[in-house]
Structure 1
């Protein structure tokens, strides 16, 4: 009888169907799907998609990634970067965007601050001939559109020019743009009236886009922080599209402590049904150029050559110095501006002034004459940063740009500093606001969550080691703690090291039916 029983078991096993085979399984990690409470389980991947997510998945796999004790999450999505030159450039290594991959960032947006090429089709198609390490989507930039039609002058567009600008935005949207981005703080965009912005934003909204804005004033430079937030909300309302405030902050001594006021304004609009969101980077220093930080907007009329000539114009010398002095005070003084590139890299403006035997304003003009270096501007308080970070409509962003550690460490720093150490956010909140919130806000289909059928953009990181290594002195150090990254199902990071795979894609938005020719 015992022999017969064994034969029956053997026959059953022989007749049983073999387990389904998948390309890769991430086994035994603590899974945060982007929507659900965490659980220990597996993620199975076939091709570029997630096949299944669950506990003890019954699949055989060509490759197994052991994730016991690690966090498994959707690949992070960065809604505000300045990576266009790298992603579209000739340098294949730079196109991998290693600083992002080593933080688990698998998708980034470009064309922010109004600096987005209207030729969206070419921007997105570039990934097919110049492979990239991460996915990217693109905005059409108000600044690029306005400069192409109106130029650098401080004037309103003519009726014909406005029509041409609207047509450029509409065309870009039909090519797959995310929406319209603006940088109303920067000349020549700062010369535009709100009505002009609304006219162009309406073209984006008609075609399913978002209005993304570096608002006109994050401080007290012109209309003030509160009024600039109101303007962004008004543009979204009047143009009929979601409004997104880029790198939200209270910048400078005049507006420190105003985060609660800004939060109240945004949440009042949201309570009325308007879609308003924001992104934020977890650093107390912003990044800009020395001229943008100190030189008043009126002095930028006509572009850089005209600006430099004004430095020697006796007729405007007193006004120029007076306005620059006000801006320096807003920024917290010469000690608060750290030059991060060029001949004076690593020096505060106060140090440069001492070296040149000039007062800080004269020193700034001397530096700007030879270029316009990036600066780290220490201008925010931790209280404001934390207050904004806690809001459920604020997602993680980097504003990634050269010479600032935010390009290499924003997501890692937010986890290490504000989840682990300061307990401002829970781990689940951090993950969802770094992935699903952005995917939902910007209509990224099948991204931002770990679920069957979604694209396999996945990060696996060590919760005891995930941290930024980049600093203001050394801004290009890769983050620590990421063990595995998948981009469209391809291993971009394995065993904590870059594989060199370039599996990213240009992500085109699909306009609503009937909104494009």
Structure 2
């Protein structure tokens, strides 16, 4: 079995030496025996036993030698034992706050070994509001399945003050937004999240974002961004990356590029230039990181992928009126056609979820042929009937692998409806890029999914299998761990995560969900709060 090749004798010695005899003789709640343990660092795996007590890692070593016992023992020989995976970019907020406890279990994440998720991504996803404490209080009163941290979302904050309008804030409005960001940070938000590609955030100038990022910076936060342009929509991919650097430098804040990619036919192949830009910024002293999902198709909607931003000002009803306007309608359709070209044409757009059931599972090209209209008119008809989520096939394999291999790139899902990434990103990355193609190593995959993410975002006491750390643990079968979800059936649960513990409690046992709602809030410890 290939995982045994990673065992290093020197690592075993160091691992065993970290535990004192007195601690090793304690009775554990759970003992995971004989697996190949990857502790979340960048090093090789070691054969060892892992003990859990009172929700914490209490032992790592040789249980027989140190006479360690446990109420529950898991035989993990031939299995991978890892910290639970941390997903720094998700859209799970609606699941975690659902009135249905089965949905709040967040099995799309848990069944692939993800034990901690970040919400409020892209400037807010239903989460991301400034009322962090009240939101978590409500969540914990109901119970939820995976640990959850949150960003304060620029989109949420801006909408509360400016609505959907395409204008700059007044001085008073800017101060109101700054106050919201400061308040959220003092309640434990990770930092400021933006989705500058999306309206109404796309209407903000860089200077406005900098002012809010400064509020997060004062309190030890980070700036996380779905950048303004991953293609050639406005300022271009490299221009949008530079904007992130400009915000980081002006606000004196570490920055993270969300789901880094080169999207569309105009920028495919530019990964090397973007990587060089990041390396230069890091060399100049700016803290820069990125996360990435392992799919060639992005997830979006017909509206966000094809409509020009000016046409979306003031909300959906205003957009529909413009589409029907004899003067504006043709102009919108012409710009939609150019946006469709950027993404690779109608064959590259798969309609995946939404109210227009007859189109789901078909490409935009197929729908247009069925309706005997051109693809843009088909898209407009879909918009008029409520829209659709899409999988947009717009990336090259070479770019995905180039970004994936960078030491500052973490694993994420961007998990959202109508795309298998919500249910299978970590499993897909392992099955395709570690096991099948060997594009990255197993230890690299685990480090980018655990310790690197915890360190990057300051999650103290998480992300490693070390004594005293929170007992978020996953036991994987290296032969069966992988995705089941597809672009056509995106909601199938992953398999092969045999045991998953969240805060020391089994949420998956022997490959089956337990029903436990073991998640807890994960808060950033702010600086400079009264």
TM-score, with structure 1 as normaliser: 0.95
Residue 230 of structure 1, aligned match among 242, 247, 264: 242
Residue in structure 1 matched with residue 56 of structure 2 by the alignment: 49
CA drift of 1:37 comes to: 2.5
- Are 1:425 and 2:440 counterparts? yes
Residue 123 of structure 2, aligned match among 98, 114, 121: 114
Residue in structure 1 matched with residue 479 of structure 2 by the alignment: 464
C-alpha separation in 2, matches of 1:17 and 1:486 = 21
- Are 1:358 and 2:377 counterparts? no
Moved over 6 A (4+): none
Contact 2:477–2:497 (Cα < 8 Å) also in 1 = yes
Residue 367 of structure 1, aligned match among 374, 377, 382: 382
CA drift of 1:313 comes to: 1.0
- Are 1:72 and 2:81 counterparts? yes
Task: Show CA shifts across 1:309-351 (max 9, x none).
Answer: 1111112233212211110000100111111013221111111
Residue 281 of structure 2, aligned match among 255, 264, 269: 269
- Report the 3-state secondary structure (helix = DSSP H, G, I; strand = E; otherwise coil) of the residue aligned with 1:479: coil
CA drift of 1:29 comes to: 0.3
C-alpha separation in 2, matches of 1:273 and 1:226 = 19
Task: Show CA shifts across 1:267-297 (max 9, x none).
Answer: 1111112111011000000000101000111
Task: Show CA shifts across 1:222-254 (max 9, x none).
Answer: 000000001011111111111001011000000
CA drift of 1:302 comes to: 1.0
Residue in structure 1 matched with residue 33 of structure 2 by the alignment: 27
CA drift of 1:18 comes to: 12
Task: Show CA shifts across 1:157-189 (max 9, x none).
Answer: 011100111001001111110111000000110
Give the count of matched residue pairs: 500
Q: Which has the larger radius of gyration?
A: 1
CA drift of 1:360 comes to: 0.6
Report 1:190-209 matches (<5 A).
190-209=202-221
C-alpha separation in 2, matches of 1:482 and 1:290 = 34
Unmatched runs of 5 consecutive residues or more in structure 1: 1-15
Report 1:105-504 matches (<5 A).
105-115=114-124, 116-342=128-354, 343=357, 344-504=359-519
C-alpha separation in 1, matches of 2:39 and 2:345 = 45
Unmatched runs of 5 consecutive residues or more in structure 2: 1-21
C-alpha separation in 1, matches of 2:26 and 2:200 = 59
CA drift of 1:491 comes to: 1.0
Cα distance change, pair 191–19 in 1 and its aligned pair in 2 (3 A): closer
CA drift of 1:100 comes to: 1.0
- Relative to structure 2, which stretch is displaced further, 79-88 or 47-56? 47-56
Contact 2:34–2:76 (Cα < 8 Å) also in 1 = yes
C-alpha separation in 2, matches of 1:395 and 1:24 = 29
TM-score, with structure 2 as normaliser: 0.93
- Report the 3-state secondary structure (helix = DSSP H, G, I; strand = E; otherwise coil) of the residue aligned with 1:317: helix
